[in-house]
Structure formats: structure tokens, C-alpha cells
Structure 1
């Protein structure tokens, strides 16, 4: 039995509903912590953590708890990498959900069309989530676009190569009405996060990215 067939056999509507419920519960815990203990975090990072936890449930919440709270004992290279990956992940995730739902679920494009459409949306949203904050800091539009493309492209390509590839493989010919469509999307997003983490650590190590600020200093 192939991995794809085993995944299809495992997925049921009950499992998808349970995953959604767990993700929403994790977001609730996040919001409660942000309101009571971490109101000092910038609004952009609150959005980043909300999307990260929404996509990956307990995994996203664990990443926030380890690297994103003001209560962390001290910042570290790995924590910076996790925050940087989450920032990229939050934007790319929106693009991937929109792109793959449109391409595979609505337009019913072939595999090449699904990959191209999904990657385009993910890349665009991933850049927007970097361009916006840069422009808020006073950077001009052209420079912000150039800086975002330079610092984020490697992470986005790694994330989406794994995420889109695994989603297309696992979902196969599934339609939006089938639980496997949504289950594979949830799994692929988290796999994309894990794939992008070592890339972000490398970009931080070589100074291509600066990473998000130390929350414990806020």
C-alpha cells in the first residue's frame, strides 16, 4: 500500500473536524495569553502567531510558547530562526490556502496548473508580509520589494516546494468536498514550516536575514 493510499484510508470527516477544533482551541489559548501576558508584542507579530497557530494547531502554539513570548528566559539563534520562519509561514500560508483552493478545488486545473497557481499566490503573500512592515518603517516601495525578495525567496521556495509537493501528492484528485482535501492541506502546511526552518537558520547565520526582534526585551 502506498503512502498516498494509506493517508486516504486514514482520513475521515471526524478527524478533520477534530483537527479544526484543536486548531481553534489552540488559537483561543494564544489569544488569551496575548491579551493577559503579552500585550506588548507588536500587532504584526500577533497576527503572525495567530496564523501560525491556526495553520498548525499545537505545533504552532508550541513554537510561539518557546520563541515568541516576552517571558522566554533568553533569546537564542534557534528562537530567532523559529520566529523568522513563522513570519514567512504566516504570509505564505494564506497564499497557499487561497491558491490551492482556487486551482485544485474550484478551477480543477491539472497538476502543473495547481503548482504554478499555488506557488504564485504563496510567493506573493510571503513577500507582502515583509514589504508591508518595511514600508511602515519608512523604506521606499522599490527598496522594500528588493529587500523582501532577497531575504525571503530562499525560505519561500523551500517551504512551498515541500508544502505544495506533499499536498498535491496526498490529495491526488480529491475535491473540496472530500475530507482528504483539507487534511492534506493542513499536513502540507506544517511540513512546509519544518522544511523552511533550516533554510531560515542558514539565512540568519550568513546575515541575509536579521530575524524578528527579541520579545523578552519588550
Structure 2
């Protein structure tokens, strides 16, 4: 595996962590509250971006950047990655028959989330590889904390 591909996989795993936390939490909350599909998906997407950005923000702040300098770095680093992951993730869940109507106790609910996140990961690695190869995406974060994989 090339260094660039390894960096892309690492960046995508990082993105997946934040996205999965937000996505699963949003699906759980929306389903538990009996919300419709659209409201549940919107909540999941908002939370996926929030958790994804928060995880990167934490590492950039820990590297010593001030909040006002860290925010643009986080937005530049994660927006394309989270967006591609969320588009694929939600498209897969919507494509699985009955997934959006499955309850929290249904194996279909959890299996569809697992499958959607796995597919989103596979699709997002090349997106991150492309961005990092051009000095964008997570490469921006690495420039600020000397943290190279």
C-alpha cells in the first residue's frame, strides 16, 4: 500500500468514526421518536458532520492551533470526505428495502447501517486519496500538527 493510499485509509477511518457516531445516533433518535424518513436522515447528516468536525477540531486544537485558526482547517479537511460518506451512506440505507422502517430492535436496522457505512468507507477512500494527493483534505490537518502516517 502506498503512503498516499495509507494516508487516505487513515483519513477515511477517522472520518468514518465521526460519521458513524453521528449517523447511528441520528438514526436511533429519529427512529425512537417516530420521526419520518426525511427528518431522521437530516438529523443523522447534521450529527455526522458535527461529530466528524468535532473529532478533527479536537486534534487540531490539541496540536496548538487557536480556535479561530482551527475552524477553517477543519472545514477544509473534512467537508468533502464527510459529504461523500453521507451521500453514499444514506443512499445505501434508502436502497435497502425496509431499512428506514425497521425498528431499533430489528436486525435489518443495524445490518443496513453496517452495510451503508462499509460501502461509504470504500467509496470515500479514493475521494480522500485524491484530496490528499493534491495537498487538500486531511493533508491540511497534517500540515498543522506534524502528524504524518
1:134-171 CA distances to partner (integer Å, 9 max, x unpaired)? 10111011221211111110000000111122123320
1:201 to 113, 126, 129: 129
Runs of 4+ in 1 over 3 A off after TM superposition: none
Counterpart of 1:106 in structure 2 is: 32
How far off is 1:113 after superposition? 0.6
Unaligned runs of 5+ in 1: 1-65, 67-74
1:169 to 95, 100, 105: 95
Unaligned runs of 5+ in 2: none
What is the SS of the residue equivalent to 1:159? helix
The two structures have a TM-score, normalised by structure 1, of 0.61
1:153 to 52, 75, 79: 79
Counterpart of 1:81 in structure 2 is: 8
- Residue correspondences, number: 140
2:37 and 2:100 in contact (8 A); partners too: no
CA-atom RMSD, angstroms?
Answer: 1.5
1:141 to 45, 55, 67: 67
The two structures have a TM-score, normalised by structure 2, of 0.87
How far off is 1:172 after superposition? 3.2
Is 1:96 matched up with 2:23? yes
